[in-house]
Amino acid sequence: MDAMKWWGWGREDVAFTHEDKPGLRPFIQRALDVDVAQPGEPPVPFSTVDVPEPKVDATLLAALRAAAGVDHVSVDPHDRVVHARGKALRDLVRHRTGDVGRVPDVVVRPGDEAAVAGILRAALDADAVVIPFGGGTNISGSLEAPAVEERTIVSLDLGRLDRLLEIDAESRLARVQAGVFGPHLEEQLHAHGWTAGHFPDSFTHSTLGGWIATRSSGMQSDKYGDVADLTRAVRVVTPAGTLVTRPVPSTSTGPSVREMVLGSEGRLGIITEATIHVHALPAQRVILGYLLPDWPRALEAMRALAEAEVTPSVTRVSDAPETQFSFATRKAPTAFDQVKSRALQLALRRLGIDAEQMCLSFVGYEGSEERVAAQRRAVGRIVKEHGGLCIGASPGELYDQKKFDTPYIRDFLLDRGTLADVSETSAPWGALPRLYDNVMADARAAFARLGITGYIMCHLSHSYHSGACLYFTFAFKPSGAREPLEEYDVVKGAIQQAFVDNGATLSHHHAVGTEHAQWLEQDISAPGVAMVRALFDGVDPGGNLNPGKIVVRT
């Protein structure tokens, strides 16, 4: 797996473009008052970036080389800058201008768990800081060292721990090294007829260990579960030795140590291995598109689906603003598309569906032909009861092909001086309508307060028995009157505050990091924060493990 671009998302040779999407330029012009056809402003060249000299003494360097091998210890400036931050909007904005912050002093790539233990021991002996690094895609600030950190910072890159170690076919469990990237994991599992079924947006550039450390959730979590569900056991190198839990399906061993490691963002140790659920590759797999008449009925249809216990692999529905954005990103229609489009217009008119209000939904089905057929019937019935209709498999196929490309849009917009980001949450079904209304109102009030033209849109995804995830995307061109990130903080802060003010959580699957830490106490209460802090302080009394994340040390 190649390293990501130092200044943005993904690979240098992949980029988002508006040129093959005739509706997009006018859409963005209307929505954000930005003309994307105007030439953009690229990031500064790397050669102009001022990367500080690494601060690492000879004893530590020798110990790291002894642990990982000489070839796997790097003080190269580019390598260190790539490992300095994740891909939060704040990270991209700063990196693009050459502000790379407190970059790690050394990047180490251990080849096995013993090397990880050796690195941690060496770092603790030197009172250095260790920040584990998977794919570097975190968007909550989980990877950046505190600006004031004076100790040596070691970025521990797990990329060489990328093997599938064992499959227990009877138990449908796979033992996998934590540094494996999504595609490489699936490739190794597919060779034996299995899938992990975990497909977060970051899939192509993120790792199993990163998913566990941040409580990730994949697009097909409705069927396969969140990473917390599918991770049965972990191995974690901690200051007290290697934590090893057992891959049992359920256990009564006191407070769950497995659930302490999930979401721990490197603060308890370095995750080296996990035992995860695998599933036989499904006989059939299809994602169907649906249109629902408006957001209230769209929400209600998703709730009815959860209540009916149909359990498709994907349930997702966009609000009207996101539906309009989706339609604006379509390529130029063929003659056949135009025929289909006219037929659809007729069907919508017959059902009284207003194009300004309608909501695009994707529902995914996996399994035996019989199971898929039964689920499709049940979903079709519920969609119909809520005034909607099925629009077939082709929009779903397109969604399925393009689902991992969305993060590239941020770089496309940043090139044009426009900020775009996401905030997501979860709440009980009953709380979702009011939560949605208040988040939209508060974000728009923030746009107005700043005097900017902003856009915000949302989809529901990840359905559960008692609630679901709402995923908001917002964008605006800074006014120029203030620092762009200052205006970003106003908008992002308004959205996050609306989450916790309306019974929702600070994040459904993007972790706490530094971006969300200020809302943790409002979410889990002060005694909850005290419990997390007690755990961190007890395991890592010197504060050497990724300090400053989740809770600030007192």
Does 123 engage in binding with its own copies (CB under 8 A)? no
Does 357 engage in binding with its own copies (CB under 8 A)? no
State yes or no: 368 annotated in a binding site.
no
Q: What residues are paired with 291 via a beta bridge? A: 360, 389
Q: Is 471 a catalytic residue?
A: yes
Q: Determine the length of the chain.
A: 554
State yes or no: 271 annotated in a binding site.
yes
Nearer to its own copies, 455 or 472 (CB): 472
Nearer to its own copies, 56 or 189 (CB): 189
CB of 481 to its own copies, least distance (A): 34
State yes or no: 140 annotated in a binding site.
no
Label residue 425 exposed, middle or buried (CB < 10 Å: 0-12, 13-18, 19+).
buried
Site for its own copies in 268-307 (CB under 8 A): 268-269, 277, 303, 307
Site string for its own copies, 373-412 (x = CB under 8 A): -x--------------------------------------
Does 131 engage in binding with its own copies (CB under 8 A)? no
The residue behind tokens 């003010």 is 501
- What DSSP state is assigned to residue 3? P
Binding residues for its own copies, total number by CB under 8 A: 90
Q: How far apart are CA 261 and CA 214, in angstroms?
A: 9
Does 66 engage in binding with its own copies (CB under 8 A)? no
Label residue 125 exposed, middle or buried (CB < 10 Å: 0-12, 13-18, 19+).
exposed
The residue behind tokens 């390598």 is 79
Does 168 engage in binding with its own copies (CB under 8 A)? yes
Q: What is the DSSP string of 214-269?
A: HT---TTHHHH--HHHHEEEEEEEETTEEEE----SS--SSS-HHHHHTT-TTSS-
CA 259 to chain centre: 19
Q: Kindly indicate which of the ranges 117-125, 439-447, 473-481, 528-536 contains the residues binding its own copies, using the contact rule CB under 8 A.
A: 528-536
Q: Kindly indicate which of the ranges 13-21, 60-68, 477-485, 524-532 contains the residues binding its own copies, using the contact rule CB under 8 A.
A: 524-532
State yes or no: 410 annotated in a binding site.
yes
C-beta neighbour count of 538 within 10 angstroms = 10
Residue whose C-alpha is closest to residue 317's, from 344, 299, 296? 299
Q: Kindly indicate which of the ranges 153-161, 201-209, 384-392, 420-428 contains the residues binding its own copies, using the contact rule CB under 8 A.
A: 420-428
Does 245 engage in binding with its own copies (CB under 8 A)? yes
Q: Which of 224, 365, 399, 471 is catalytic?
A: 471
Choose, by CB under 8 A, the member of 236, 270, 446, 545 that binds its own copies: 236
Choose, by CB under 8 A, the member of 468, 491, 498, 545 that binds its own copies: 468
State yes or no: 95 annotated in a binding site.
no
Nearer to its own copies, 32 or 317 (CB): 317
Q: How far apart are CA 74 and CA 217, in angstroms?
A: 32
Strand order in the sheet with 284-292: 389-392, 284-292, 359-367, 314-318, 454-463, 467-476, 419-428
For 266-311, give the secondary structure using H, E and C.
CCCCEEEEEEEECEECCCEEEEEEEEECCHHHHHHHHHHHHHCCCC
Does 438 engage in binding with its own copies (CB under 8 A)? no
Does 361 engage in binding with its own copies (CB under 8 A)? no
Q: Kindly indicate which of the ranges 14-22, 264-272, 316-324, 390-398 contains the residues binding its own copies, using the contact rule CB under 8 A.
A: 264-272
CB of 223 to its own copies, least distance (A): 9
Contact 69, 141 (CB under 8 A): no
Helix then strand then coil, in percent of the chain rounded to 5, is 40, 20, 40
Does 242 engage in binding with its own copies (CB under 8 A)? yes
Does 124 engage in binding with its own copies (CB under 8 A)? no
Catalytic (active-site) positions: 471
**Residue set of the binding site:** 201-207, 214-217, 265-271, 410
**Residue set of the binding site for substrate:** 410
**Residue set of the binding site for FAD:** 201-207, 214-217, 265-271
